[in-house]
Amino acid sequence: MRISIIGSGYVGLVTGACLAKLGNEVTLVDIDNEKIEAINNGLPPIQEEGITEILNQAHLKATSDYRQIADADIIFLCVGTPVSEDGAMSLEHLTEATGQVTRALEGERGYYVVVVKSTVVPGTTEEVVIPILERAGKKAGKDFGICMSPEFLREGKAVYDFMNPMRVIIGEVDKRSGDMLLGLYRNFNAPILRTDLRTAEMIKLASNTFLTMKISFINEIGNISKKLGIDVYEVAKGMEFDDRIGSKFLNAGIGFGGSCLPKDLRALIGKAKEIGYESRMLEETLNLNEKQALKLVQLLQKHISLKGACVGLLGLAFKPGTDDVRDSRAIGVVQALLQAGATVRAYDPLAMENFKKLFPQIDYVTIEKVLNCDAILIITEWEEFNDLDYTGKIVIDGRRIAKAREARIYEGVCW
Ligand code: UGA
């Protein structure tokens, strides 16, 4: 099939690359000329396992010219939908992209399906996207199709997740739209749920917020357990035998970051408020997460005075395997340390360049220099941090690095 993807961020790029690998003809549209050039030269603008190989093999081109989508069978909208601190989702990129798609597809042509893949709050496809697409005088569900099909890709494992989905959700305005999208997944061995547009939108938000609750929950159990002298990791091990609970996402620590979980949680809280519902459960999940990372700094203050101290950070990325620092727990920690008058030295194998854009004033150094600081905070569980010599050091650990227990003074954030 001829596929067009609007937006070549990590969702758009991975979706496009994987669909091209599966034999479709893919055109990626983006407004960023640097990205376009990189993709056309086989150089992915993101760190993602396996993507370079696909870009160099598959039939895929990137462009800034919307006219090139004119003969597409399926058009995916994969642009960013940022969410403000108060939970309001900005649809600026989505409405702009949808307007461009409408213009590119106006006039006489065969049936096509537009698929919203961007994460949006329930009602957005019906109330915002469809009205724009219908401006050219065509009717959704008659002249063209529309689906909402959320993505569940994890950064760093996105290619694997695309090729091996745990489920495929197809929200459809009518059966014909869904049938056409389904054609792309015919060789996948995954459960497929076909539903309406707003349910598909909610499935995405509910899935991500459930994960945030799981993390904040185990962190809370950790906070209580630590005071009682109980190891939360041992508690989690005991809980995991119950398959109603499951074994994933029970790693207690300094909480969740990244471009999706915190944002989607804020968006659902914001949407609930907008319709007059106050979700205390979700709000507390977010509050707990904000406080959890700062515990590292509070614990450190029990051992040293921060004013004038040199504090070393191991890890800046929101999780290992990526250079992404969006909503990384390191951000609040660095702010608190600087506010308390400490000097900060940081090391991360991939994320230093990105973090430098947020905090140019701290020192980006080698691991050895971090280890020579007055105290060390562990922010990201990079494997290499398990091979370091921590003897004689003061370490406050946010991610359960086993080797760090050899430190002279060792404390886990909630163990
Ligand atoms: C997340 C979801 O896992 C994906 O399914 C979803 O598609 C994606 O968001 C999205 O909406 O685009 P991702 O942002 O790549 O994927 O990150 P995760 O691997 O889920 O990790 C998120 C954060 O939770 C990290 O900061 C990680 O350190 C933290 N975490 C995770 C814990 O603190 N404890 C755990 O047990 C697991």
The pair phi, psi for residue 372, each rounded to 5°, is -85, 0
What pTM, to 2 d.p., does this model score? 0.96
Would you state the pLDDT for residue 352?
Answer: 98
CA angle in degrees (0–180, nearest 5) for 65-68-72: 140
Query: Which residue has the least CA distance to atom 7 on ligand 1?
Result: 152
Would you state the pLDDT for residue 370?
Answer: 98
What's the gap in Å between 112 CA and the centre of ligand 1?
33
Residues 6+ apart with CB under 8 A from 227: none
CA–CA dist 318, 359 (Å, integer) = 15
- Name the residue of 117, 161, 162, 211 to mutate for ligand 1: max ligand atoms within 8 A of Cβ: 211
Nearest-atom number in ligand 1 for the CA of 328 is 26
What's the gap in Å between 257 CA and the centre of ligand 1?
7
Nearest-atom number in ligand 1 for the CA of 212 is 24
CA–CA dist 170, 116 (Å, integer) = 10
CA–CA dist 86, 375 (Å, integer) = 35
CA–CA dist 341, 400 (Å, integer) = 27
CA–CA dist 192, 169 (Å, integer) = 6
Question: Known catalytic residue: 260?
Answer: yes
Nearest to 81 by CA among 65, 64, 62, 97: 97
Q: Which residues of 156-172 are buried (b: 16+ CB within 10 A; e: fewer)?
A: bebbbbbeebeebbbbb
Nearest-atom number in ligand 1 for the CA of 153 is 7
Nearest-atom number in ligand 1 for the CA of 249 is 36
Residues 6+ apart with CB under 8 A from 302: none
DSSP string computed for 266-315? HHHHHHHHHTT---HHHHHHHHHHHHHHHHHHHHHHHHS--TT-EEEEE-
Q: What is the CA radius of gyration of the chain?
A: 23
| Torsion sign across C-alpha atoms 20, 22, 25, 28 | negative
Phi-psi region of 175 (alpha: psi -120 to 50; beta: other; left: phi over 0): alpha
CA–CA dist 64, 77 (Å, integer) = 14
Among 260, 310, 373, 414, the active-site one is 260
**8 Å CB contact between 398 and 237:** no
Would you state the pLDDT for residue 46?
Answer: 85
Tokens found for residue 208 = 């991500």
Nearest to 252 by CA among 235, 266, 227, 269: 235
Query: Which residue has the least CA distance to atom 13 on ligand 1?
Result: 154
Nearest to 21 by CA among 43, 68, 53, 66: 53
Would you state the pLDDT for residue 335?
Answer: 98
CA angle in degrees (0–180, nearest 5) for 368-371-377: 135
Q: Going residue by residue through the chain (415 aa), what tens digit of pLDDT does each one get?
A: 999 999 999 899 999 999 999 999 999 999 999 999 999 999 988 888 899 999 988 889 999 999 999 999 999 999 999 999 999 999 999 999 999 999 999 988 899 999 999 999 999 999 999 999 999 899 999 999 999 999 999 999 999 999 999 999 999 999 999 999 999 998 899 999 999 999 999 999 999 999 999 999 999 999 999 999 999 999 999 999 999 999 999 999 999 999 999 999 999 999 999 999 999 999 999 999 999 999 999 999 999 999 999 999 999 999 999 999 999 999 999 999 999 999 999 999 999 999 999 999 999 999 999 999 999 999 999 999 999 999 999 999 999 999 999 999 999 999 9
Mapped onto helix, strand or coil, the DSSP state of residue 168 is strand
Would you state the pLDDT for residue 186?
Answer: 87
Question: For the chain, what is the largest distance between any 2 Cα atoms, rounded to a whole number of angstroms?
Answer: 74
Tokens found for residue 265 = 């949680």
What's the gap in Å between 208 CA and the centre of ligand 1?
8
Would you state the pLDDT for residue 109?
Answer: 87
What's the gap in Å between 152 CA and the centre of ligand 1?
10
